[in-house]
Amino acid sequence: VQLQASGGGLVPAGGSLRLSCVASGLRFGDYAAGWYRQAPGKEREFVAAINWSGRTKYYGDSVKGRFTISRDNAENMTYLQMNSLKLEDTAVYYCAADLKLEEIATTDPKMPADYWGKGTLVTVSS
């Protein structure tokens, strides 16, 4: 199983960016997917999660109303549209997948999702 995140970069505060994550080696349509992030010197935190069908979505409090998660099962992709970016959104963003949505949409510090991708760096500048 492999998850590969991409789309990170340098963006000014107030700008937008879309992250992508492609999955391989699993029946992606069976899995919930999501995003976490880790800022310098901080613990990894939950950002967003989406169930297998795309009908159920959860967001971390700090990104509600600004970020939108979506997926395309035909392409084995999940996306994170980030709008109104703030300096504090600067972090490495990781995608994750698990058969159970609750294993991704959680603040459990164990971060129990089964599969993780390598991160993509998002830097928001002033």
What pLDDT, on a 0 to 100 scale, did the predictor assign at position 47?
A: 97
Long-range contacts of 27-32 (CB under 8 A, 24+ apart): 28/73, 28/76, 28/97, 29/73, 30/99, 31/97, 31/98, 31/99, 31/115, 32/97, 32/98, 32/99, 32/100, 32/101, 32/103, 32/104, 32/105
Rounded Cα distance, 55 and 61, in Å: 19
Instruction: Summarize the chain as % helix, strand, coil (round to 5).
Output: 10, 50, 40
What pLDDT, on a 0 to 100 scale, did the predictor assign at position 42?
A: 94
What pLDDT, on a 0 to 100 scale, did the predictor assign at position 112?
A: 86
98 CA to centre of own chain: 13
Query: Taking the chain (126 residues) in consecutive chunks of 10 residues, what is each chunk's mean pLDDT?
Result: 97 98 96 96 95 97 97 98 98 97 88 92 97
DSSP 8-class letter at 118:
B
Cα-Cα-Cα-Cα dihedral sign, residues 102, 104, 109, 112: positive
